[in-house]
Amino acid sequence: MTDTALSAMPAAANIPAAPASAASLTAKTRRRRALAYLQALPMALVFLVFFVVPLALTVIVSFWAYNEYEIIPAFTVRNYLDVFEGCLDTADVCTTVRTYLSTLKFCVLTWICTLLIGFTVAYFVAFHVRSRTVQMALFLLCTIPFWTSNVIRMISWIPLLGRNGLVNDTLMGMGIIRTPIEGLLYSDFSVVLAFVHLNTVFMIVPIFNSMARIDRSLIEAAHDCGATGWQTLWNVVVPLAKPGIAIGSIFVVTLVMGDFVTVGVMGGQQIASVGKVIQVQMSALQLPAAAANAVVLLGAVMLMIVAMTRLIDLRKEL
């Protein structure tokens, strides 16, 4: 037997090992995938029990009939017709549209204020505070208001903004005004102020996380190329902070659109919002009507979220 034939024999003997190795890799991949699904199972169960099931029940109840005494499990679309009652009449704006416009007004004003404050605070902490310890201390300071309930934080504004509150007394004592300002409390201003107070932190944290990942060499390169501070901010920082802005905006929009406690307390039960309408209907045990309004509200919020997510791929960022 020649040397060439002898050298070829081990190579031929190793040929069947390749399929065995591929099968082993496939088995390992399947085990890892099964383990990943097993690890995600608890969270999936929580998501199913506390989100999918209640949402499905809400949709089902929204198609049930009801009267002054009972809820009738019979299919009807009357609840949705009542929600949009009068909206086809072009002579006047229907109640639902006016309510959604009022809620959207609060949403836009709160979003603008929280974005300006949140972006400024996040920029300062990310680019001007070098110590991680100081950054953590500042974030802790931002979360201190969450150690108390939302209602207590809202009530704390009443002694300040009331007709005989601290703000009016101070302005009158300084001679700036002669009569108390009526619009400080139980008005659109007080509602927006409370919303900004409650939700600004939800804008700060996502924007800071995006800014913390910005390569500082990009900032230095912009300065080396002669860019001013505003040009660097607008052309470098803002585009790279878009994921945080989008995520923070989603948090703020979803919280404001469904809130009814803030509108009730700070608006003196006189200002309409979608969440307030749903709360009143639930208090009157008009659960199918409240469920229909909740489904419509969910659809409106989802449309707003879809519009925001078109700006950035949040799945990649998360």
Residue-wise pLDDT for 149-193, tens only, equals 778 888 888 888 888 888 888 888 888 888 888 888 888 898 999
Please state, in angstroms and rounded to a whole number, the distance separating the CA atoms of residues 72 and 34: 44
Q: Given CA atoms 239, 302, 304, 253 in this order, what sign does their dihedral have?
A: negative
* 168 burial level (CB within 10 Å; 0-12, 13-18, 19+): buried
* Residue reference for tokens 């024999």: 9
Q: How many CA atoms lie within 13 A of 70 on its CB side?
A: 3
Please state, in angstroms and rounded to a whole number, the distance separating the CA atoms of residues 64 and 72: 6
Integer angstrom CA distances of residue 233 from 44, 128, 150, 313, 317: 40, 14, 34, 22, 21
pLDDT at 252: 92
Q: What is the pTM of this model?
A: 0.80
Tokens found for residue 221: 């390169």
Phi, psi of 65 (to 5 degrees): -90, 165
27-61, pLDDT tens digit by residue?
778 888 888 888 888 888 998 999 899 999 999 99
5 pLDDT more than 70: no
Q: Spell out the domains of the chain, with CATH numbers in brackets.
A: 92-317 (1.10.3720.10)
